[in-house]
Structure 1
Amino acid sequence: MTTTPTPQWKLICRVDDIPVLGSRRVARPQGLDVAVFRNDAGGVFALLDRCPHKGGPLSQGIVFGTQVACPLHNWTIGLCDGQASAPDEGCTPKFAVKVEDGAVYLDALELDEHAVDLTRPVAGPARRGLAA
């Protein structure tokens, strides 16, 4: 039986530092940034800053309710679970968030290890090698 490690919460920012219906990006030593979102009901959510469709930066999307619209192709991604809304399919990794006394915390272990292998797709024609 495996046990889930107890989260080690890392202070990210104040809730007021995240614009209502907007986001703030959190850089990581490796892997893509994490986008921390705030909706108009005061909810705070965290997803990898990458749409599952074409890798668009979700942090630049429009937040509505508990969803964000990707700025590239308008895919709707759930902030609670990272799941694309039908008819689209796909999921972006989510991150644990804790809000306490107006401060936003993310799990330090997740920041260091979760989804660090994912990258953004390279736009344009595929490269098969670099010319010398």
Structure 2
Amino acid sequence: MKASKLLWAVVMALTFVFTSCDWVGDEPTIEGKLDKFFDSQAQRKSFRILTGSGKPYNHKVDWHIIGITAPYSDTYLTKKVDTLSNGDLKISYDWVSFTVRENKSVIDVEVQENETGKVRAVYLNTNTSGRHITLPDMRVTQRAK
């Protein structure tokens, strides 16, 4: 009898924990797919941050930029994030820059013209408190001429 009460208490506690935490619904994620493609020309595109349920990012779960890595690698190309005078955050590497608006609801990606003759790519690595599944990470690939 005591074991069944304990089991019931554990089940109720877990139910409360899982129903009171909206781990997926509030997690910031990038709109569309993880992979963002650019042609070889210099250009700028903006991507909205959404919650896991597709609603505009509501800032309940804060996220931050860790750095830019080589795709499919843990090799950081840069970790330096600058705060601009308007409060936006900017991280750049060679041919690409990411500007995160102050409220963290939009990421602007700017690429320079690709004259290398080769496809090039980077990965924007972000993080939250470390327990979330989705993040506003993105892999940017720029095609060659």
Using structure 1 for the length normalisation, give the TM-score. Answer: 0.25
Largest Rg, 1 or 2: 2
- Of structures 1 and 2, the one with the larger relative CO (CA 8 A, separation 6+) is 2
Structure with greater strand share of residues: 2
Structure with greater helix share of residues: 2
